[in-house]
């Protein structure tokens, strides 16, 4: 199995080009099911999760060509509406095919995604949304089996009692080809949701209130969508934030290219709290300049535009070397602290009480063998390893490969001593 070997305490320097956002690309790929014509997606990140979803679409009967960060997808001849266990168990986001399959083909069955390393992650809100639109939903032998009325899904008022990114995306896609108007109240406002809504508009649905928590979708009444222009995936705000954390912890000046600066504002604010400054910002580039000594930081995760849970682990790694104790409260997922014990193996001094982590500062981190537990936890270990004295070996990096595009290649270009090895 592959592992990463990192020799720490080397300064980084230079420019890094941020890839397309995995979490934006996944719903865009799912949304191609709503069309019976070619759809071109550009700036796809070269990561395993994207390949997994494309594989699922192929299994459903779609034509898929994928090369060099671009895909042509044609869902004219879809002949199956079943997302099987073998795929869904590899990637929970496969649930995103539920809404579009149901909307276009009036039926869908998707293997029930289980919990995962960061929490239970139920899908009750996805199901409530499609039920409100007239679907009949049953659980049969581990599958969610959903059927729309003969005349198709109907517009409805969906009130989410919790903000859910995937739930909002599924509701949007289900509503896109429904009959009538769907209102989604307490919708997620993440940039990835915004891009999906914009894509649906390009295809002929009409989504109003984009970027707010109240969305109104005028469905096409059964007419498939038609995406005439290629769609370019937005930059990955979490990848951008991860590289900023790498710059901060190694006290290195790094320039990020191809970012959307608005999407990373809370990350920038927290790094400023830690003493970092930012030079030459434009809407798509930014240079981080770390201070002489990093300062403590206090973070509470929240839905967008709040501080992203997907950046929590990376900041925890940086905070290990701050001047005073930092506090991080995780409010979205109940078990997103698996990186704590691994960071402590590197010499960190982190204490957990419920959903709050207290990060006591240490003078240095020291290389060790550690294990990646989920995607963002893995990148936190890379961040810590870059600053640790000696060599760190990070195992189970298949988690990293799911969501970071050519991580070690990008880091090597910045001067990091990082290599992928096989054990
Ligand atoms: C998306 O997951 C992201 N994944 C996650 O990124 C991210 O951490 C999360 O949003 C929050 O920002 C993708 O976009 C593919 P949610 P999602 O539904 O949609 C609860 C990464 O590292 N909930 O917004 O699954 C849920 O348990 C990944 O890239 C219900 O209770 O997250 C959680 O506590 C990890 N019932 C909260 O809502 C439901 O039906 C938010 O989850 C759905 C969710």
Query: 74-103 in b/e burial notation, b at 16+ Cβ within 10 A?
Result: bbeebeebbbbbebbebbbbbbbbbbbbbb
What is the per-residue pLDDT for 119?
A: 76
Q: Which of 167, 239, 379, 380 to mutate to test the pocket of ligand 1 (most atoms within 8 A of CB)?
A: 167
What is the per-residue pLDDT for 364?
A: 98
Containing H/E element for 182? strand 181-185
| Active site (catalytic) residues | 116
- Whole-number Å distance, alpha carbon 166 to ligand 1 midpoint, is 6
Q: For the chain of 423 residues, list the mean pLDDT of each consecutive stretch of 10.
A: 96 98 98 98 97 98 97 98 95 97 98 79 95 97 96 98 98 98 98 98 98 98 98 98 98 98 98 96 96 98 98 98 98 93 98 97 98 95 98 96 97 98 91
Phi, psi of 11 (to 5 degrees): -70, 145
Ligand 1 binding pocket includes 309 (Cβ within 6 Å): yes
Ligand 1 binding pocket includes 196 (Cβ within 6 Å): no
Three-point CA angle 397, 400, 402, nearest 5°: 115
Ligand 1 binding pocket includes 122 (Cβ within 6 Å): yes
Nearest residue (by CA) to ligand 1, atom 41, is 164
Looking at ligand 1, which atom is closest to the CA of residue 309? 8
Going by their DSSP bridges, the two strands 143-147 and 136-140 should be labelled as antiparallel
- Whole-number Å distance, alpha carbon 300 to ligand 1 midpoint, is 16
- Whole-number Å distance, alpha carbon 347 to ligand 1 midpoint, is 31
Ligand 1 binding pocket includes 345 (Cβ within 6 Å): no
How many Å apart are CA 96 and CA 62, to the nearest integer?
16
Q: Which of 23, 115, 309, 313 to mutate to test the pocket of ligand 1 (most atoms within 8 A of CB)?
A: 23
- Whole-number Å distance, alpha carbon 67 to ligand 1 midpoint, is 28
- Whole-number Å distance, alpha carbon 191 to ligand 1 midpoint, is 14
Looking at ligand 1, which atom is closest to the CA of residue 127? 40
Taking the whole predicted model, whether its pTM rises above 0.75 is answered as yes
Residues 6+ apart with CB under 8 A from 54: 29, 64, 66, 71, 73
Assign 219 to helix, strand or coil: coil
Q: How far is CA 234 from the centre of its chain?
A: 12
Ligand 1 binding pocket includes 45 (Cβ within 6 Å): no
Looking at ligand 1, which atom is closest to the CA of residue 332? 34
- Whole-number Å distance, alpha carbon 8 to ligand 1 midpoint, is 33
Whether 190 and 164 have beta carbons less than 8 Å apart is answered as no
Looking at ligand 1, which atom is closest to the CA of residue 49? 15
CA-based R_g, the chain, Å = 22
């Amino acid at each position: 199995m592959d592992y990463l070997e990192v020799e720490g305490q080397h300064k980084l320097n230079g420019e890094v080009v941020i890839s397309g956002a995995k979490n934006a690309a996944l719903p865009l790929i799912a949304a191609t099911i709503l069309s019976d014509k070619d759809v071109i997606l550009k700036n796809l990140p070269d990561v395993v999760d994207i390949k997994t979803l494309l594989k699922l679409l192929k299994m459903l009967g779609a034509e898929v060509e994928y090369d060099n960060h671009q895909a042509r997808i044609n869902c004219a001849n879809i002949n199956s509406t079943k997302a099987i266990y073998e795929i869904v168990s590899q990637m929970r986001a496969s649930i995103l095919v539920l809404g579009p399959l149901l909307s276009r083909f009036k039926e869908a069955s998707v293997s029930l995604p289980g919990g995962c390393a960061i929490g239970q992650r139920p899908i009750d809100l996805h199901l409530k949304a499609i039920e409100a639109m007239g679907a009949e939903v049953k659980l049969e032998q581990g599958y969610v089996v959903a059927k729309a009325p003969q005349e198709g899904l109907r517009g409805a008022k969906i009130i989410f009692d919790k903000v859910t990114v995937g739930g909002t995306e599924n509701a949007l896609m289900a509503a896109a080809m429904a009959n009538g108007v769907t209102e989604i109240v307490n919708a997620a406002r993440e940039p990835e949701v915004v891009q999906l809504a914009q894509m649906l508009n390009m295809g002929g649905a009409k989504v109003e209130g984009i970027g707010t928590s109240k969305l109104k979708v005028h469905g096409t009444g059964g007419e498939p969508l038609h995406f005439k222009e290629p769609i370019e995936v937005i930059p990955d705000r979490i990848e951008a934030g991860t590289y900023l954390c790498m710059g901060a912890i190694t006290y290195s000046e790094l320039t990020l290219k191809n970012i959307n600066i608005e999407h990373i504002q809370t990350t920038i604010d927290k790094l400023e709290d830690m003493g970092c400054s930012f030079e030459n910002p434009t809407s798509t580039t930014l240079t981080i300049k770390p201070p002489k000594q990093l300062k403590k930081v206090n973070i509470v995760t929240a839905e967008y535009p709040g501080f992203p849970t997907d950046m929590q682990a990376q900041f925890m790694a940086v905070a290990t070397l701050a001047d005073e104790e930092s506090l991080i409260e995780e409010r979205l997922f109940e078990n997103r602290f698996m990186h704590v014990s691994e960071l402590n193996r590197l010499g960190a001094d982190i204490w957990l009480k419920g959903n709050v982590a207290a990060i006591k500062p240490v003078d240095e981190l020291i290389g060790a063998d550690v294990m990646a537990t989920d995607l963002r936890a893995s990148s936190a270990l890379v961040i810590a390893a870059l600053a640790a004295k000696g060599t760190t070996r990070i195992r189970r990096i298949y988690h990293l490969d799911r969501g970071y595009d050519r991580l070690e290649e990008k880091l090597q270009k910045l001067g990091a001593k990082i290599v992928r090895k096989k054990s």
